[in-house]
């Protein structure tokens, strides 16, 4: 596989204002996103109900925390939708891959609060022809997210008051 430079293959659509959501991490679908290399912590899609800035299904990026376990905001990349490649879930879900040093982080935190400050939209959710294509695309999303979240324009959200643990 050839790895293209992320910034040359994608542009980010920064939201006009950040979307801050929080909720208890819910169980995934047993498909093992761990196997895909991107274990996600999931929130019900209902946290985005009525939020027009995040009404599109697809891949979003921002900063997120688990106040009780990992209070320092981390970069995240997430999918919002119904996993249309698989077509087996009914409810919209927000699946966030938190870029922690410990890749197993989310597994242990079902029921814990997660806070996400959503800053940009990367691409629509797509129906891939194979698992391999989905994995390649997710890897590219991770690389793009890492790069764009270093942008000076969004650094201030790392210290957003929303992440203060006593909130
Ligand atoms: N699922 C899809 O069906 N289409 C997608 O385009 C898609 N993009 C994703 C991008 C990222 C960054 C992540 C973390 C997940 C994505 N998924 C997508 C969801 C994936 O199907 C799901 O995480 C696994 O099936 C485990 O539930
Ligand atoms: Mg998950």
Ligand closest in space to the Cα of 96: 1
Contacts 24+ apart (CB under 8 A), 29-37: 29/83, 29/86, 29/88, 29/89, 31/83, 31/86, 33/95, 33/97, 34/104, 34/107, 36/131, 36/134, 36/135, 36/138, 37/103, 37/135, 37/138, 37/139
8-59, pLDDT tens digit by residue?
446 899 999 999 999 999 987 767 566 778 889 999 999 999 999 999 999 9
CA distances, 15 to each of 19, 114, 118, 148 (Å) = 8, 20, 8, 13
Ligand 1 probe mutation, 42, 95, 128, 131, most atoms within 8 A of CB: 95
Q: Quick one: pLDDT at residue 30?
A: 66
pLDDT tier, 92 (very low <50, low <70, confident <90, very high otherwise): very high
Ligand closest in space to the Cα of 60: 1
> d(Cα 156, Cα 6) in Å, to the nearest integer?
23
> Is 133 noted as a catalytic residue in this protein?
no
| Average pLDDT estimate for 101-112 | 75
Q: Quick one: pLDDT at residue 119?
A: 98
Percent of the chain with pLDDT over 70: 87
- Predicted confidence (pLDDT) at residue 129 exceeds the cutoff of 90: yes
The residue whose CA has the least distance to atom 13 of ligand 1 is: 79
**Closest ligand 1 atom to the C-alpha of 123?**
6
Sign of CA dihedral 76, 56, 124, 38: positive
- Ligand 1 pocket residue status of 38, Cβ below 6 Å: yes
Sign of CA dihedral 67, 148, 146, 140: positive
60-74, pLDDT tens digit by residue?
999 999 999 899 999
Higher-confidence residue of 7 and 82: namely 82
Q: Quick one: pLDDT at residue 46?
A: 97
Q: Quick one: pLDDT at residue 105?
A: 67
pLDDT tier, 4 (very low <50, low <70, confident <90, very high otherwise): very low
- Ligand 1 pocket residue status of 84, Cβ below 6 Å: yes
Which chain residues have CB less than 5 Å from ligand 2, an ion?
A: 28, 33, 40, 42
Cβ-based neighbour number of residue 37 at 10 Å: 12
| Average pLDDT estimate for 131-160 | 95
CA distances, 128 to each of 14, 39, 73, 80, 154 (Å) = 25, 19, 31, 15, 31
Largest Cα span, the chain: 45
Determine the distance separating the centroid of ligand 2 and the alpha carbon of 36, expressed in angstroms: 11
Percent of the chain with pLDDT over 90: 74
- Predicted confidence (pLDDT) at residue 86 exceeds the cutoff of 60: yes
């Amino acid at each position: 596989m050839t790895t293209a430079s992320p910034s040359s293959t994608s542009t980010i659509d920064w939201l006009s204002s950040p979307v801050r959501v929080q909720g208890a991490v819910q169980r995934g679908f047993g498909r093992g996103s761990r196997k895909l290399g991107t274990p996600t912590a999931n929130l019900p899609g209902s946290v985005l109900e009525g939020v027009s800035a995040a009404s599109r299904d697809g891949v979003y990026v921002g900063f997120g925390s688990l106040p009780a376990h990992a209070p320092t905001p981390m970069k995240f990349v997430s999918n919002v939708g119904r996993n249309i490649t698989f077509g087996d879930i009914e409810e919209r879900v927000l699946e966030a891959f938190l870029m922690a040093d410990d890749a197993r982080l989310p597994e242990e935190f079902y029921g814990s609060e997660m806070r996400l400050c959503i800053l940009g939209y990367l691409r629509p959710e797509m129906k891939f022809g194979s698992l391999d294509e989905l994995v390649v695309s997710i890897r590219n999303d991770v690389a793009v997210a890492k790069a764009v979240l270093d942008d000076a324009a969004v650094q201030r959200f790392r210290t957003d008051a929303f992440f203060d643990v006593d909130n």
